[in-house]
């Protein structure tokens, strides 16, 4: 199950205004056709309104936990989409709140909206700011290729 709490990872650009707006996850497969290749049903819960992660609070952590607990028997795992500003705090809190659960709970976010990452990749341009660029930067640092010292 996918749980969207807020954050850039769940935003899409409005083609008219060019402003970022929350993505309607009920149309996930229509908008992200590669998910069809998984041949798997992905249900979702979206917080209304989406929460700016700088406004995340213990009450929201309880809401996330309740969403997982109330759907625990129906799903193999849970992916929580979250803003990056306070994702580490949420991950820590949930790790204590769901200490004895045996199913995976993945918390992820993004610094760039999903439509921008896809567009850059299709054009063969580097992805500036997303997880892939971070991994590339780390690899370059680790092997000294980025001009720094190998670690």
Kindly give the pairing relationship between strand 11-13 and strand 78-81.
Answer: unpaired
Identify whether 8 is a catalytic site residue: yes
Query: What is the sign of the dihedral through the CA atoms of 11, 86, 72 and 78?
Result: positive
Give backbone dihedrals phi and psi of 85, rounded to 5 degrees, phi first.
-60, -40
| CA dist list (Å): 34 to 29, 47, 83 | 8, 24, 23
Q: Which of 5, 8, 86, 90 is catalytic?
A: 8
Q: Helix, strand, or coil here: 80?
A: strand
Active site residues: 8
């Amino acid at each position: 199950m996918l749980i969207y709490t807020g954050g850039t990872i769940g935003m899409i650009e409005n083609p008219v205004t060019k402003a970022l707006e929350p993505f309607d996850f009920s149309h996930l497969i229509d908008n992200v056709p590669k998910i069809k290749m998984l041949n798997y049903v992905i249900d979702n819960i979206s917080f209304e309104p989406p929460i700016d992660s700088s406004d995340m609070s213990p009450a929201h952590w309880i809401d996330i936990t309740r969403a997982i607990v109330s759907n625990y028997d129906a799903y193999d795992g849970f992916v929580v989409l979250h803003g990056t500003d306070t994702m580490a705090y949420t991950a820590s809190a949930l790790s204590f709140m769901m200490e004895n659960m045996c199913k995976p709970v993945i918390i992820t976010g993004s610094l760039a909206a999903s439509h921008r990452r896809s567009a850059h990749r299709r054009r063969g341009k580097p992805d500036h700011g997303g997880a892939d660029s971070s991994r590339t930067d780390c690899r370059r640092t680790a092997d000294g290729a980025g001009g720094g010292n190998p670690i």
